[in-house]
Structure formats: C-alpha cells, structure tokens
Amino acid sequence: MARVGRPAREDVLEKYEMMGVVGEGSYGTVHKARNKESGQIVAIKKFLEEDSNSFKIARRELRALRQLRHENLVNMLEHARRRRRLFIIFEYVDGTVLDYIEAQSSKRISGEKCREITWQVLRGLEFIHRNRMIHRDVKPENILYSKEGVAKLCDFGFARPNSIINGEVFTDYVATRWYRAPELIVKESTYDQSIDIWAVGCLLPEMLSGDALFPGESDVDQLYQVMSVCGPLPRDLHDSLRLRPEFYGFRFPEKQTMLEDHFRILRNLPVELEFIRKCLNLSPCARETACSLLTNSEYFLNDDFTRNKPDLLEKIHRFNAPVRHIIPKQSKSDLKFPTSTSKIPLTNPQSKRNKHQKVNAANSNHRLEQLDAHNSGFSSMPVTLSMPEIKSNAKQRKQKQKWSKAGTQKQSQTKLPKL
C-alpha cells in the first residue's frame, strides 16, 4: 500500500475491484470497491480535474487529509492520479447520520444515540480546531455512521485554516444553508471555528426530532428564522447586514419565540436545551468551544453516558483496528496539547475570545489531556475524506431544500421595510 500523504503509483487502482457507484456530485463520483488481495472494502472518490472548482475542492480535501489524523474522522488509505484525474481511497463506512435518521420508523434518533453521536462529532471537531482548522460543512450527510455506532466526520473539501489566526480573508460561500452560522449568512469575510459549533447546535435538534431546526428557503428566510428564535444580531453582525444589498429593508422579527416553543420536543429535555443554546449563541466570540462542551457540558455528565463511555471508546478503537497499520506510533507527547500529529504551525488562540473562555479552555484542555491519555490507545487517526451523499438521499435533500430558484423567488417576493 502507498504511504499515506504521498502520491501513489498509477497502477495502485489495479489493486481494487470496483463494485459500483455509491455517490455522485458536481465534483465527480464515489465507488465502492474491494481490495483484491486483502478483501478490504473501501470507497474510491474520483475527482474530475478538468473542472476548476472540482480541482480546488480536491486539493483542499487532500491537504486536510494529510494534516489531520483522528479516529472520529474518516481515514485516507492512499491516493493516485490517472489521466488527469485524482483518486482518493479511504475506508468504507456504510451510512451517514442522515441515512440513520431516515431509517428510523419515527424518523428520529433516541436520546442516548444522539448523545453518543454528538460526543463523537465534537471529539473530531475538537481535534480539527485544536490544529487551527475549520471544517466548514458540518451536517448530517457529512457525518458517517457505521452499524457499530461509530461516527466519523467527513467531506473536507471546504476545510480551511482559521482565518482569524492567519489574517486570511475568505471569499467563497460555504456551509449548507440550514446549518450556516449567522456570520456566514451576512457574509462576514473572516470567521473562526465557532461556525462548526453552530452547525452542531442545529444538528442535535434534527437528530432528536427528524426535522431541520432552521429550514430556510433563502438567505433572507434563513436569517429571519434564526433571529425569530435566537434574538437580535450582535452589533458587528448587524452592521455587516446593513452593507449587504440582498438584505436592504430586511424585516426583523416582531417577537422572539423561545427555542423550546419553536421545537416542542425540547420542552421535556432541559439538559439538551441548555446544550443547544450554548452552541447557538449569536455572538461567535461567546459561543462555546468543542473542548469546553466536551469537558464542561452537563449533557455529557449524564450518569448512564459516563458509565457507558469506556464501552463506546472501546467500540471506536475496535472499529478503527483495520486501519491502525497506517497510524504513526504515538509517544506520550502525542497525547498532549498541542498534538504533534499536526503539520500546521500552532499559534496563539484568537484574541477575540474573552478571558472567561480562555480560563475554561485551559481547564478543558487539561481534563481532555487526562481523558485521552487514560482512555485512548491512539487518539489520532489519518483523516480522510468524505463519504458523499448517496443518490437517493441527495434527491430527498434537494426536494426538501429547493435551494436556488425557489429561494431566490421567495427572497425577491418578501416585503422588506427599511432598516
């Protein structure tokens, strides 16, 4: 097998027997395949490099896969080029969280399963954020979920280094609308890892109920739904809103609906409600971090979850056993913050975080460090890539969301008094 992170020989694809297409999109296609020698089932993602946008996504994804390694992120096995096309081979996981939701007769996931999935997603995000990167597209179909109950973040085509730290201005429009943080909706040019936490706050209610929390049909509608539940925008985001032509005359909600009234299933789930509120803070600087949520949130201090966590960790380790041979041997220093598995130069935390959060983050880092050293045989897995949307799910998603024309029409028809 080719060494992870290095270009593989063109004949590497001859090792695999194609078993059919399992996903496709504007970037290319994903095939299910079998290693002829070992029998291992893999997914092979083929990018169409002739398309400039697909090539850009492919380069970003490959760069992220080389830099990040963790067991709650999917693992790249190798990659190859053939006839101006890039192929990335990664471990095969047989479903996504979206698939799992739709497979339930009630179209919702049990409370304990939601807790396990959310914990694993945050575990992967904490590692990404610790290494000064942002996923930028967290949503149910970008979380692989195995029949064994192991969750892995995937699809790193939009992953980028933190813009607040390196001063870079982002110009491309990222994140699927329903999970898009308000700073992205008003098109702030710089943002940080807190946009991923907002998406987690949208993810949990959807898993609990089967319905999207804020299913906006346009950017105007999306922001209106967010503000009707979360309240008025902070001053800096309000100022950005005033500069955007598409929001001229935006009609602010006349009254705010409490989150538990907007999503009634949360009325009897006070711990989940508090967790979601921490994720959905309209101010990016005041939004909780993945690290603080993992270590300080009452949501994960539940007695049953605490008691079952060692079994869950063992399940995660066991699921990753087939790819353990591509994981660099860890030293004790690899279990400390910052991790030595990242190739990204680490810098000081962003100055916009307030002092209270910095103290919490420091305490959280210490507690996570102890937990990782005690519970994890290996905390870092070679990340990969995405298990894309299955065709049927993509069609269902498109029917539900109606992104483009329908959203644009509704936006243009909305009566908008002046600011």
Residue 52 has what pLDDT? 72
Query: Is-contact 22 45, C-beta < 8 A?
Result: no
Q: Which helix (H) or strand (E) holds 397?
A: helix 391-401
Nearest-angstrom CA–CA distance, 350 and 284: 12
The CATH code of the domain at 10-93 is 3.30.200.20
* Between 114 and 24, residue with greater pLDDT: 114
pLDDT value at 387 more than 90: no
Lowest mean pLDDT among 83-97, 99-113, 275-289: 83-97
Active site residue ranges: 137
CATH 1.10.510.10-classified regions of the chain: 97-329+339-375
Q: What is the mean pLDDT of residues 360-389?
A: 40
Q: Which of 316, 317, 340 is nearest to 328 (CA)?
A: 340
- Topology (CATH level 3) of domain 97-329+339-375: Transferase(Phosphotransferase); domain 1 (1.10.510)
- Angstrom distance (rounded) from CA 61 to CA 157: 4
For the stretch 9-37, pLDDT in tens is: 557 888 999 999 988 766 778 999 999 99
Distance CA 196, CA 418 (A): 32
8 Å CB contact between 182 and 223: yes
Please check whether residue 152 is in contact with residue 143, taking contact to mean a CB–CB distance below 8 angstroms: yes
**Residues in a beta bridge with 406:** none
Q: What are the start and end residues of each CATH 3.30.200.20 domain in the chain?
A: 10-93
Check whether 418 has a pLDDT greater than 50.
no
Is it the case that residue 4 has pLDDT exceeding 60? Answer: no
Q: Which two tokens stand for residue 361?
A: 């983050």
pLDDT band of residue 367 (cuts 50, 70, 90) is very low
Q: What share of the chain is helix, strand, coil (3-state, %, to 5)?
A: 50, 15, 40
User: What one-character DSSP code corresponds to residue 263?
Assistant: S
Q: Provide the residue type at 1 as one letter.
A: M
Residue 398 among known ligand-binding residues: no
Confidence of residue 378 (pLDDT cuts 50, 70, 90): very low
pTM for the full predicted model: 0.76
**Do 250 and 416 touch, CB atoms closer than 8 A?**
yes
Q: For 289-321, write each residue's pLDDT tens digit.
A: 999 999 999 999 989 999 999 999 999 999 988
Residue 326 pLDDT more than 60? no
